[in-house]
Amino acid sequence: MKTQARNNEHRASGKPSTGRVSTPKAAPKRAGKTPQKRAENIERVNGAPVYTAVYKVNHSDELLEFLLRKCNTSRNNVKSLLVRKQVLVNGRVVTQYNYMLAKDDEVKLSRRSIKDGVVASQPQTKGARGAKTAQKPAFSLRDLKIIYESEDLVAIDKPAGLLSVESDKERECAYGYVTDYLEKGDKNARAFVLHRIDKETSGVLLFAKDIKLHSILKMHWSEQVQTREYYAVVEGVLERKSDTLVGYLKENVNNLVYVTADPTGQKAITHYEVLKENGTYSLLRVRIDTGRKNQIRAQMKALGNPVVGDDKYGSGNKSPIERLGLHASKLEFIHPITKELVTLTASVPACFRALFN
């Protein structure tokens, strides 16, 4: 058994930068006929919006009540933040006072008003004459492929290149598009984040539509999930055609995960089976027992067979499929209320198989 965690995007718990958070002020009105500053042109540092505070939600709560406890200011001031579109939940502007927050949601306060929608604060680029223009979104709601939906759950086949949830520099994400989709049927509907997969990884991504179900699943996610399966295209030919990689993962100062024998790290268990090979690359079916950040990518690097197209853990060689060779193909879990086994699958990308034809 070789010594070598789940391909999950973790985010550190956000905390306010100071003990007391000053309420962001609305932009002053301009005199005369000078047009007001567009909402999406918010203040930035290195292309990222400036936030006065970032909070991680620890349990279900209403947004207004949550902000009142965190901001140390009056109810009217908090309401003004919401009205002026300066509050974001998981990267989306929210103005509803009684908007329900779920565990692990991220709430941000912006220094400036932000335009509604998931693409309002995309990084900006300079136009032909040096003028700043908003970068066009790489995806649209039409790219959203629903692979499963019930009264309380919705799952998509996330395309490679789309974040699961927003980041500090990018708001276009699967969470936003799923919420848009749900709001088309019910303006009060929302998605609740259950797990994440890396931006460049495609495949099954599941959201809850009900906050109670979300709370139950989040609390017992490891016990409820029965199968987490991926397909991976890696460099080289593996000596062992099937194996189990067991080891520990740690993260360095550059936020890169590495494999270690130190048991103080997070234990990672990965099973793989070689399905096809062509002398240069191998196609693997991978099953993970643990859900660690960049687990498959870090363990395959340690094995000497990095995932193709991996700019963090790869060899630097050009990807033969022009993307990261990792796809979340199956997620199985026990529904905590019905007790039924739910199986979600996303077809293996054609480019994976074409490489071995």
pLDDT digits over 222-276, tens only? Answer: 899 999 999 999 999 999 999 999 999 999 999 899 999 999 999 999 999 999 9
Q: Taking 60 as the threshold, does the pLDDT of residue 209 lie above it?
A: yes
Question: What's the rounded Cα separation, in Å, for the pair 309 and 231?
Answer: 14
Residues 295 and 330 in one domain: yes
Flag whether 1 is in a domain: no
Residues 243 and 357 in one domain: yes
Residue 296 Ramachandran class (φ > 0 left, ψ -120 to 50 alpha, else beta): alpha
Q: Taking 80 as the threshold, does the pLDDT of residue 18 lie above it?
A: no
Flag whether 127 is in a domain: no
β-sheet bridge partners, residue 231: 285, 327
pLDDT for res 192: 93
| Residue 287 banded pLDDT, cuts 50, 70, 90 | very high
- Least confident range from 9-18, 59-68, 201-210, 216-225: namely 9-18
Average confidence (pLDDT) over 275-300 = 96
Our CA dihedral for 70, 48, 13, 261, rounded to 10 degrees, sits at -170
Flag whether 54 is in a domain: yes
Question: What's the rounded Cα separation, in Å, for the pair 262 and 268?
Answer: 12
Residues 252 and 347 in one domain: yes
Give the torsion sign (CA, 317, 323, 324, 330). negative
Residues 314 and 257 in one domain: yes
Residues 152 and 98 in one domain: no
> How many domains is the chain built from?
3
| Residue span of the structural domain in which 177 resides | 137-219
pLDDT for res 115: 67
**Residue where one domain finishes, among candidates 86, 117, 148:** 117
**Residue where one domain finishes, among candidates 61, 82, 117:** 117
Residues 231 and 331 in one domain: yes
**Residue where one domain finishes, among candidates 158, 185, 219:** 219
